[in-house]
Amino acid sequence: MNENVVNTSELTKRYGDRLAVDRVSMNVRRGEVYGFLGPNGAGKTTTLRMMLGLIRPTSGSATVLGQPAGGPAVTARIGALIEGPGFYPYMSGLDNLRVMTRYRGLPESAATAALVRVDLADRGADKFKSYSLGMKQRLGVASALMGEPELIILDEPTNGLDPAGMADMRALIVALAEGGQSVLLSSHLLDEVQEICDRVGVINQGRLLRESTVADLRGSAHITLTARPLDAALAVAMEAAGEDGCRLVGEQVELDLPESAAPGLVRDLVAAGIDVHSIGSSERSLEDVFFEMTTTHEMESLS
């Protein structure tokens, strides 16, 4: 199922001289957890607000669930938590959700069920203003889940949560996707995105730098080899990984091969009378890729 639930085309938002979102074209597929990744102020929330019709794009367009973003018929099929939970401080968590069930035309029992899902049932009768930041955040997520919307947009949902709360939230998001709901999640936490997202869009300074699967973004694992004599080692390495899969990095040879290929490679090297000084496998984390990408982008914009 590769049907897109979100399509944006050259989506742009300009505030005076500042370009908050710059020609962002992204796609979120049905049933996936899509990570929208970027540092604070990169334009994530502004893009999400445009998808929900909260703000109008300066140019470009967004299609959500097959219709132009922002229409009541579309918004009713989305559950959203955007830039912090906004609730009535004088009412209890449960009453706040009851108000939202009325807006959504749902039975009020949906409010109680949603509180249970985010583990807030025992504090549902307490006033919203007495909640901790993490509890407020969980209430925001509970509100977004009500009515089993087809698309759930969560803007930094783990903000303010303790480690256990973060783990619970991630498990909940994965469970939502397994149940067939699509989740668009913005985050500046790379571990979080790496752990739970199928695909990622990386945004910085308003521009979408890359959109792909987490695995593609990280690239394949590679083997780093130190051996003497170097030219003989390079010849063996080329036989194993092909000419394009081999690079000389300083005094080391880098091969685009998985870790499982290391024992065979060592045997070949030893059989050719080469001394193997060290061999290891390394895999880039999303963090490495992200910093590489955003730094390159910044350098380009400086020059």
Partner 1 sequence: MTSNGLVASTRAEMLRLRKWPAVWVTVGSWLALSLMFGYAFNYVSYTSGSNGFSNEGTTKAMLLAEMMPANVPDVFVQGMPMFGGALMMVLGAIVAGNGYGWGTWKTVFTQGPSRHSVVGGSLIALTVFVIGILVVTMAFDLVCALAIAGVESQSVVWPSFGSVASSFGAGFLVLEMWTLAGFLLGTVARGPALSVGLGLVWALVIENLLRGVGVLLDPVESFTHVLPGTAAGSLIGAIVGVSDGGDGTPGVLDAISGTQATWTVAAYVVVLPLVAAWLVRRRDVT
Of the pair 38, 85, the CB lying nearest partner 1 is at: 85
Of the pair 62, 289, the CB lying nearest partner 1 is at: 62
Residue 75 lies near partner 1 (rule: CB under 8 A)? yes
From candidates 68, 86, 180, 258, binder to partner 1 by CB under 8 A = 86
Of the pair 55, 223, the CB lying nearest partner 1 is at: 55
What's the number of CA atoms in the CB half-sphere (13 Å) around residue 128?
Answer: 20
Q: Are 268 and 253 in contact (CB under 8 A)?
A: no
Q: Is 161 helix (H, G, I), strand (E, B) or coil?
A: coil
Of the pair 137, 194, the CB lying nearest partner 1 is at: 137
Give, as ranges, the residues between 223 and 262 that touch partner 1 (CB under 8 A): none
Q: Are 123 and 93 in contact (CB under 8 A)?
A: yes
Neighbours of 113 (CB within 10 A): 15
Q: CA dihedral defined by 205, 185, 158, 112, rounded to 10 degrees?
A: 140
Residue 82 lies near partner 1 (rule: CB under 8 A)? yes
Q: Are 188 and 156 in contact (CB under 8 A)?
A: yes
Instruction: Kindly state the smallest distance separating residue 111's Cβ from partner 1, in Å.
Output: 11
Compute how many residues bind partner 1; rule: CB under 8 A.
30
Which segment (27-35, 75-83, 158-166, 259-267) binds partner 1 by CB under 8 A?
75-83
d(CA 231, CA 236): 9
Give me the residues that bind partner 1 (CB under 8 A), please: 49, 52-56, 72, 75-76, 78, 80, 82-91, 95, 98-100, 102-105, 143
